[in-house]
Structure 1
Amino acid sequence: MFSGLVTGKAELAEIKKQGHTMALTIKTTPDFLTGAKIGDSIAVNGCCLTAEELTPNSFTVTMMPQSFNKTIFKDSQVGDQVNVERALAAGGRFEGHIVTGHIDDTIQLLKKKVNENALELTFDRPKRLKKQLISQGSVALNGVSLTIMQAKKGKFSVGLIPHTQDETNLSKLETGDYVNLETDVIGKYVEANLK
């Protein structure tokens, strides 16, 4: 389980594709990997993956076909910046919101606008997820915990404060780019049990 508070800057150092499976080597800082071990869960752009190899400043994960097909990684390139987060430690401070690392869909950036110190991003809202993406609700985009400012007419918007702009890859997005989307897990269960 994760909180959606990105804790490290990283980049894709190597990509090995074979059909719809791929291995990613992610270069990061030694601080980020302090205490990490083989088998740990690490969120990469919001996708929960298992560390299979570790060096002092990198880790390697393997993605199965389901994750490959459901995420933005199929279009990734060496050098891309990715958001990374280690799994939550029991007894630690819990901020952000509950993020499982299970991607629901990829969505497209429709509009990017500066509003004083904030960067407002507007994305398409998949029809099947409409009830899980509500104004003032929580959402994870590329693993970043955000509050939905407004949701209506097939789209929704989020705002990035300066810290989020500096610490994540979201501010680098251009109109037409795709991100990994995870809706709020509580909303999923509420919707499932009201059907």
Structure 2
Amino acid sequence: MFTGIIQKVGKVIEKKELSGDIQFTIKTHFDEPEQIKLGDSIAMDGVCLTVTDKQDDVVRVDVSVETMNKTTVNHWQNGSQVNLEPAMTLQDQLGGHLVSGHVDAVGQCVGRTPSARSEVFTFEIPKNLQQFVVDKGSITINGVSLTVNTINESIISINLVPHTMSHTNLGALNVGDPVNIEVDTIARYVAKMLQPHQA
């Protein structure tokens, strides 16, 4: 599990195709890289991936065909910036919300509007995820825990403060860019529990 609080923005330094899968080498820039061990889980742009090799602050991860089909990983190239968060421990502060690292779908950035020192971003999400998103609820975009300002059918708006813009890769988004979307896990379970009681 993760919290959606990004610790570092890493950089893809190698992308290698291996028998249909992809292997990425990522420079993490972690302040204490010795805390990351082989087999550890790291959320990369919200995708939970396993460390298969490590050298100082450089890690290697394998990406399956399923992950390539359901996330933005296919768009990563050498030099791509990716949001990084190691898996949380029971001692960690839950500063964001509970994030599984299992991306639900790929959405799209459809707008950016200045708002004082912040910016209001709008994203289009798939229609099947609308039921899990509410005003002032939580959503994860590229691994970042965010609060939904408003939702109007499949369009959500989110206010990004300067800190989030400068400490994640969201500040570099352009209109039309794809993003990884994970809805609030609690909302998903509540919707499942209510299904038998709906007409």
* Same fold (TM > 0.5): yes
Question: In the aligned structure 2, how far is the partner of 1:192 from the partner of 1:20?
Answer: 35
Kept after mapping to 1: 8 A contact 2:8/2:30: no
Are residues 1:89 and 2:96 paired?
Answer: no
Q: CA deviation at 1:32?
A: 4.6
More deviation, 87-96/45-54 = 87-96
Q: Distance in 2 between matches of 1:9 and 1:140?
A: 16
Three-state SS of the structure 2 residue aligned to 1:112 is strand
Cα shift readout 1:165-187 (whole Å, capped 9, x = no counterpart): 01000010000000000000000
The percentage of counterpart residues that share the same residue type is: 36
The SS at the match of 1:34 is helix
Contact 1:24/1:62 (CA < 8 Å) preserved in 2?
yes
Moved over 6 A (4+): none
Counterpart position of 2:147: 147
Distance in 2 (CA, whole Å) between partners of 1:192 and 1:80 is 37
Structure 1 residue 18 displacement after superposition: 3.7
Q: Which residue of structure 1 lines up, in the alignment, with residue 21 of structure 2?
A: 21
Q: Normalising by structure 1, what TM-score?
A: 0.96
AA aligned opposite 2:93: R
Q: Tell me the number of residue pairs that the alignment of Structure 1 and Structure 2 aligns.
A: 195
- What TM-score results when the alignment is normalised by the length of structure 2? 0.95
Measure, in 2, the Cα distance between the counterparts of 1:34 and 1:166. Answer: 25
Q: 1: CA distance between counterparts of 2:19 and 2:123? A: 29
Task: Name the counterpart of 1:57.
Answer: 57
Correspondence 1:132 to 2:144: no
Deviation at 1:34, TM superposition (A): 2.7
RMSD: 1.1
* 1:148-187 to 2 correspondences below 5 Å: 148-187=148-187
On the 8 A contact 1:20/1:69 being kept in 2, the answer is: no
For structure 1, list consecutive stretches of 5 or more residues without a partner in the other structure. none
Q: What one-letter code is carried by the residue in structure 1 that aligns with 2:162?
A: P
